[in-house]
C-alpha cells in the first residue's frame, strides 16, 4: 500500500515535469487574432505553434516565428504554408533576411498544448473522404510539396469542392513531415 502510494506520487511528479517542459510551446486552436502592442492585429491560422512568453489571466503574450513576404507570414522560406496575415504596419522583430518574429497577445481559450486536438475535425473529414478507395495514407510520411502534388488528382477522386479542398490541404500540409509539427521522419 505504501509502495503504491509512493508510485502514485512519483508518476504525478514525472507527469508534472513533462507538462512543464511542454508548457512554453502551445498551438493555436482555431483561427484567431494576435494583438500587437500598438493595437495592430495579425490573423493567425489554426495549428500554428507559439512560444508562451508570459502567461496572464485570460491572455498570453506569445512569440511566433516565420518567414515574411509582404504582409504574409509562412512557416518555411519556401512559402508553402501561410500561418499568419498582418495588418498594414504591424511592428515585427527581424531575425535575418526574411525570417521574422511576431510578438503579441492571444486569448488563452484559443491555445492548446495538444496539437492533435487542433486537427480532430479535419482528421475525421480526411478519413471520411480519403479512405473510400484505399487505406488512409500516413500524413507525416510526405512533405508539404509532395502533398500538394499528390492532392491534385485525389481531390477530383474524392469530389471535393474548393472550400473542402482548401480545408483538407491545410490539414495535410500542416501535418506533413516538414509541416507545423516537426517529426523525426
Ligand atoms: C475514387 C477513389 C479514390 C479516392 C476517393 C481517393 N483516392 Fe487516393 N488513390 C486512388 C488511386 C486509384 C490511387 C493509385 C493511382 C494513382 O496514384 O493515381 C491513389 C493514390 C493515392 C496516393 C499515392 C500513393 C503513392 O504512394 O503513390 C495518395 C497519397 C492518395 N491517393 C491520397 C488520397 C487522399 C488524400 C484522398 C482524399 C482527398 C484520396 N487519396 C482519395 C483512388 C482514390
Q: What local confidence, expressed as pLDDT, does residue 151 receive?
A: 97
Q: How far is the CA of 154 from the centre of ligand 1 (A)?
A: 5
More confident residue, 51 or 20: 51
Residues 183, 140: contact at Cβ < 8 Å? yes
Q: Are 142 and 150 in contact (CB under 8 A)?
A: yes
Cell numbers standing for residue 6: 509512493
Regarding the beta carbon of 130 and ligand 1, being less than 6 Å apart is answered yes
- Cα–Cα distance between 51 and 82 in angstroms, integer? 18
Q: Is the pTM of this model over 0.75?
A: yes
Phi, psi of 94 (to 5 degrees): -90, 135
Task: Answer whether residue 16 shows pLDDT above 60.
Answer: no
**Ligand 1: nearest atom to the Cα of 126:** 37
**Confidence band of 163 (pLDDT split at 50, 70, 90):** very high
pLDDT at 185 over 50: no
- Provide the pLDDT confidence category of residue 97 given band limits of 50, 70 and 90: confident
Protein residue with its CA nearest to atom 25 in ligand 1:
150
Q: How many CB atoms lie within 10 A of CB 16?
A: 10
pLDDT at 7 over 80: no
Residues 153-172 have a mean pLDDT of 97
pLDDT higher than threshold 90 for residue 20: no
CATH of 119-174, one of 1.10.238, 2.30.30, 1.10.760, 2.60.40: 1.10.760
**Window from 18-27, 61-70, 77-86 with minimum mean pLDDT:** 18-27
Residues of the chain with CATH 1.10.760: 119-174
46 touches ligand 1 (CB under 6 Å): no
Mean pLDDT confidence for 3-18: 60
CB 176 within 8 A of CB 144: yes
Amino acid at each position: 500500500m505504501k509502495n503504491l502510494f509512493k508510485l502514485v506520487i512519483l508518476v504525478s511528479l514525472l507527469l508534472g515535469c513533462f507538462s512543464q517542459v511542454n508548457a512554453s510551446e502551445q498551438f493555436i486552436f482555431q483561427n484567431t487574432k494576435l494583438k500587437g502592442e500598438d493595437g495592430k492585429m495579425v490573423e493567425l491560422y489554426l495549428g500554428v505553434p507559439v512560444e508562451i512568453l508570459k502567461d496572464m489571466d485570460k491572455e498570453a503574450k506569445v512569440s511566433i516565428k516565420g518567414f515574411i513576404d509582404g504582409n504574409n507570414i509562412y512557416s518555411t522560406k519556401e512559402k508553402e504554408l501561410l500561418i499568419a496575415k498582418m495588418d498594414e504596419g504591424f511592428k515585427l522583430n527581424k531575425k535575418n533576411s526574411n525570417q521574422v518574429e511576431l510578438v503579441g497577445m492571444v486569448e488563452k481559450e484559443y491555445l492548446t498544448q495538444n496539437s492533435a486536438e487542433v486537427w480532430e475535425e479535419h482528421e475525421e473529414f480526411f478519413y471520411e473522404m480519403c479512405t473510400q478507395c484505399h487505406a488512409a495514407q500516413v500524413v507525416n510520411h510526405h512533405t508539404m510539396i509532395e502533398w500538394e502534388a499528390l492532392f491534385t488528382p485525389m481531390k477530383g477522386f474524392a469530389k471535393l469542392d474548393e472550400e473542402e479542398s482548401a480545408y483538407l490541404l491545410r490539414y495535410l500540409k500542416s501535418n506533413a513531415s516538414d509541416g507545423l509539427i516537426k517529426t523525426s521522419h
